[in-house]
A and B are shown apart, each in its own frame.
Chain A
Amino acid sequence: MIKQNDTAVQNAHWFAACRVEDVVENGGVCVKYGDEQIALFYFTRRNEWYATQNECPHKKQMALSRGMIGTKNNEPKIACPFHKKTFSLTTGECLSGDECSIKTYPVKVENGNVYIYVE
């Protein structure tokens, strides 16, 4: 699934993260991009790809890629394995009623390669 980015930044580009088969079905993996950690999710059931920051803003733990994905009223979400705070995979907003939110990244798949749009 390809999402449009609002602000084009000079440095922004599609970063080749891994192969499709590297990513666990209906789950997440953690992608290293320089010093950044990006959680990449393959929602196989919906044939959708998502990427977010790997750090859960609640206790600042690098853990979201190890969480369970799912939906809330058809909105795809990720639950942090630590305290089950949930965040929307599309907007990054917290769905458990907290004020915090996470960063999301556009993802595209071409020829079996998974790309993440980074700035």
Chain B
Amino acid sequence: MKVVVVGNGMVGYKFCEKLIAKKLPDLEIIVFGEEQYPAYDRVHLSDFFNGKNADDLALAPASWYKENGIQLHLGDPVQYIRNSIKLLQTFKGYVLHYDILVMATGSSPFVPRIDGIEKDGVFLYRTVEDLHLIKSYAKKAKRGAVIGGGLLGLEAAKALLDLGIENPDVIEFAPRLMPRQLDEAGAEMLASTLTNIGLNIHTNKNTAKITGDECITGMQFTDGTSLQTDILVVSAGIKPRGELAAECGLETGMNGGIVVNDYMQTSDEFIYAIGECALYNEMIYGLIAPGYEMADVAVHEICRIHSASPVKTKAFTGFDMSTKLKLVGTDVASFGDPFANGDNVRNIILRDTAKGVYKRMNVSADGKYLLGGVLVGDATQYNILLQTCKNKLILPPNPEDMILPARESKKEEGAGIVALPDDALICSCESVNKAAICKAVSEQGCETVDAIKKCTKAGTGCGGCLPMVKDLMVYTMKQQGKYIRNVLCEHFAYSRQELFDLVKLHELKTYDDVLDQLGKGDGCEVCKPAISSILASLWNEMVLKKGNDTSQDSNDRFLGNIQRGGTYSVVPRIPGGEITPEKLIVIGQVAQKYGLYTKITGGQRIDLFGAHVGDLPLIWSELIAAGFESGHAYGKALRTVKSCVGSTWCRFGLQDSVSFAIQVEERYRGLRAPHKIKSAVSGCIRECAEAQSKDFGIIATEKGWNLYVCGNGGSKPQHALLLATDVDSETCIKYIDRFLMFYIRTADPLTRTATWLNKMEGGINYLRNVVVNDSLGMAAQWELEMQGLVDAYVCEWKVAIETPEIRKRFNHFINAPGEKDPTVKFDALRDQKKAANWK
């Protein structure tokens, strides 16, 4: 069967994808597209101005079509169809016979008849080509305007903003913005938010004339007003592209849309029409979700007709125009009947001009059903409202609770999902219902969101439904009585602490030994670094020893932090932040020689960025020759012990905090742990070293030191808690030994000390009992083990540069040693350089 698809837009592409999935025998698909690019994501077209290109927006690369045996002809629109003999001819002269023809010609922008619209500087907003033109013309434009205050028009206005045009004007003919989606009050709220971010909104304005000689210089309106502009983007609605269909005698209707039946068939049963060119029930559907459903319905019907066994029909039902989007950073959504009004309708309206939030619910007079509504400024409840509306769920006694900002009422959320019927549509982009998601979890064993995405395609479109997908997954797993056991990954049925004890008991030394004896399968990126960390914490052997090298996380494998572009950063250890002028000079010379960007870190060290992987051994050879050693900035290990200058210079200092910081840093350098460890020592209670934000922090007192533990900065800052007061240096070190060994042994992978303590039953009091009062009787053993680790320390960079087998790995190309990755690019920045932006 030869299926020819006319048009390679989003819906045309989706049709191909869905038809391929049916794996029909003897199927041949030929696609003709007018544009030069394979189908791209038109919904996110304005991302083009955020640095994305046509490839980024592509729904699938050209190779995808080839791999799936689809003939794709770009830049070659179909010119006419002779449907009586099932033949078509293209612009480039192909003449082709088809069995089934699918019209996915989409729409073109509606161009209003305005005097002067042909002038230079007036653009449409629909294709990548249009955007190229706008982008290059905008360079010489100072002022800009958009005709059309609908969805696309506002996107276009944002695009102008992104192109550096200040305060673009938006001209809307209707009395309000987005008249198809928003009521008056909602549109007003949106207008005021958009005004605040720099758009000039004009409603009730009808353009009479575009002025200027060859190029546009201004616009005149029917109310006698005018404005000046150098560029104008017209986005005044769409016009279905049904010319081709009309010419060959297919029935077309309003605006030229191709009339289709419930199964997307046109008046010729061998020709289907889907997407924005199709006129169903006298309506054009200019949204992506109904377009995708049309593709699905057409595929189903084509397969049904060509199937040997009887298959049930599937009719188009996607007349839902509910939509949710982010416009210039503002949530806007409307669902069901957003405008429902009158005697049989009650409205609940929440309006907060301070926050720019407007929410409207239209409820049936008996208060039982949700008919529709509008959300502006905050659309977090969109999914549950949409489901309640679509599935005619009975509203709670106080329906207004559904749109009130979330308080402390966690029960409600779960209840919402449970109440949904099986056919509730969760992902409207890919039409996946609740039952399909629950089934993926219960019958196909999908127990991660990724697995569900893969299995059902839910959440692969706009992604807005992912929180609900996750809630459904957890809910279904609980229903099945699944105890979510804290195991490492599919290869190890143990927690990290269990593995730690087992590895120690069996004295296992390599990743493969651990996997063979305690796990199954061949490992993955979750268990490899976790086991490697355990091995390092237990035996402190060089991490790149053969057998353990490739089980290290990338940063440990190359002993540097991988940065944008694939270069690495170099951080030599500067204990306590103390450094001699001679050593500073060496760092400067090395940075200069290898062209590195230098920056002072938050931990009182110097970070050198932009090192090619092949340069790393050379850089480190020079640094080590000058007396530096690895700073372990790449490892889940002790990073730095920050200090203030203390009693050596400071007039307030009580103890020599720098010396103690150096002592502590040198003791624990290279210590591998479940996560990074940071520390600091302050010379007095003024706390200039910020010790209370560290995994362990030490503050000088008149009598000795106060030891604080389990603090961290990061996304959830937490102050460290006082563990011991007025202890001498020796006791302080002992307590830190015990504390760190306890943490290393019992924490889950990638858990900082703060989180570890938060999960600990009994909290800081229990921890103090274990560490200070030795309630577990482990103190002596832990101190011994720590001393063993301290004694086993070697600078791993020194080993790496001295071991040819390891040094050989620091090359980008295996078959061109010494050659650098030619794709690495830098940009200039304030007399230094930075990694080129990634796409």
Residues of chain A having any CB pair with chain B under 8 Å = 17-18, 22-27, 29-32, 35, 37, 40, 43, 45-46, 55, 59-63, 66-74, 76-77, 79, 81-82, 84, 86, 95-97, 99, 103
Contacts and interface: CB of A to CB of B under 8 A. Distances in A.
Given A40-B814, A67-B554, 8 more contacts: A18-B814, A22-B815, A30-B813, A37-B813, A63-B566, A68-B550, A70-B528, A79-B524
- A-B pairs, top 5 by smallest CB distance, nearest first, are A81-B554, A27-B550, A70-B524, A79-B525, A97-B453
A67 B547 CA distance: 16
A76 B809 CA distance: 23
B838 A70 contact: no
Contact of A67 (B525, B815, B823): B525
Main secondary structure on B side of the interface with A: loop
A68 B524 contact: yes
Interface of B: 59-60, 63, 449-451, 453-454, 459-460, 490-491, 512, 521-525, 527-529, 546-547, 549-551, 553-555, 557-558, 562, 564-566, 809, 812-816, 819, 821-824, 838-839
A27 B809 CA distance: 11
Contacts of A74: 521-522
A56 B589 CA distance: 34
Contact of B521 (A30, A62, A69, A71): A71
A110 B229 CA distance: 69
Contacts, number: 115
Contacts of A70: 491, 522-525, 527-528
Contacts of A55: 823
A69 B549 CA distance: 12
A72 B549 contact: no
7 contacts: A24-B550, A31-B815, A45-B522, A68-B524, A77-B524, A82-B562, A97-B459
B454 A97 contact: yes
A96 B450 contact: yes
A29 B813 CA distance: 7
B522 A25 contact: no
B815 A72 contact: no
Given A61-B566, A68-B550, A81-B562, A73 B490 contact: yes
Given A26-B550, A45-B522, A66 B838 contact: no
Nearest to B451: A97
Contacts of A82: 562
Contacts of B63: 103
Contacts of A62: 566, 821, 823-824
Contacts of B814: 17-18, 22-23, 29-31, 40
A30 B812 contact: yes
Given A25-B550, A61-B838, A97-B451, A72 B524 contact: yes
A60 B55 CA distance: 11
B449 A97 contact: yes
A33 to B, nearest CB: 8
Given A18-B814, A96-B450, A59 B525 contact: no
A30 B566 CA distance: 13
A75 to B, nearest CB: 10
A106 B815 CA distance: 18
B459 to A, nearest CB: 8
B826 to A, nearest CB: 14
Given A86-B525, A95-B454, A32 B566 contact: no
Contact of B460 (A26, A72, A84, A97): A97
A19 to B, nearest CB: 9
A100 B450 CA distance: 14
Contacts of A25: 546-547, 550
Contacts of A77: 524
Contacts of B566: 61-63, 66
Contacts of B565: 61
Nearest to B515: A45
Given A27-B550, A30-B813, A31-B814, A76 B522 contact: yes
A38 to B, nearest CB: 10
- Among A70, A72, A81, A82, the most chain B Cβ lie within 10 Å of the Cβ of A70
Given A61-B838, A86-B525, A72 B454 contact: no
